[in-house]
Amino acid sequence: MKNKMQSYILIGSLLLLIIAIAATILIVQMNHDTKTANDEDNEIAASPDSDEKDQKKEEENQGTSEPAGDEQHKGTVEGKQQETPQPQQPKQQQNQQTNKQQAQPKQHQPAENKTVDNNGYIEGQQLPSKPTYIKGVLIANKKYPLPKDFAPGESKEARAAFEKMAQDARKHGFELVAFSTYRSYEYQQMLYNRYVQRDGKEKADRYSARPGYSEHQTGLAFDIGEKSREDLWLTEEFGESPAGKWLAANAHKYGFILRYPKGKEHITGYMYEAWHFRYLGVDLATKVKESGLTLEEYLGIV
């Protein structure tokens, strides 16, 4: 009898344990279902904000947004179809294009606001990779240097124009000679260093260009004198001679201008050189001559 009672107690305990385990599993399952339902409700409630953020992000990437209200209908005016505005580029792409444009060499970069030393050169300026053209005119002066490897040689067009001018000058009794035209960077460097050693840097800068800054490197500058009057070459007195006066008065008819006129050193950077002429072509040379301005003044780069 005692053994039977023990068996019943054991069986009852096992049943209670099984019931407890089943109840626990049921409670856990019910809690999980409730949490899932709540999460789904929260996601549904939050979805409008999420979509709005995604749309805003997409609009920022595109750099434009959809016009609202009446602006959406601004596609026609008086029955005529207007050109649909093109969407703006993404900001990142715009920045890349801006940087690309800034990296490209500019045809004319003003130098007026940069620090200039006593001799007219811009302090710390490096030689460019490309020559500077302003209004289609090749420029070489103390503010706009040339690349070191710029070596076009003497201009054939300028040489032909000079020969025509020299031929006509003979009719007036003058034998003109172009005694110095194209100079390479290296040759100008040798000349400039020689002048600095002889006269000092400050004086040399008044009449000789530093290497890379010489107009002779363009192949368009001609130093002109009179044959058999070598004593007047490279002197102001040449400008007072009959040949020098004829040249100054007629050079523009052949495409040349007196590049460094008297009283303009503060503009051109160089002392008066009665012998230094620059080829521009007949049309432009005539306009510069008639204006009474230096090339810097005429081009607006003073």
The pLDDT of residue 25: 73
pLDDT in tens, 81-127: 333 333 344 444 444 444 444 333 444 555 555 667 768 999 899 99
| 104 part of a folded domain | no
**Number of folded domains in the chain?**
1
The pLDDT of residue 29: 67
> Which domain range does residue 180 map to?
135-299
| 260 part of a folded domain | yes
pLDDT in tens, 172-188: 999 999 999 999 999 99
Q: Which residues are catalytic?
A: 273
For the chain, which ranges sit under pLDDT 50? 35-107
**What CATH number corresponds to the domain at position 282?**
3.30.1380.10
CA angle 14–18–22, rounded 5-degree value: 170
Task: Identify residue 120 by its one-letter amino acid code.
Answer: G
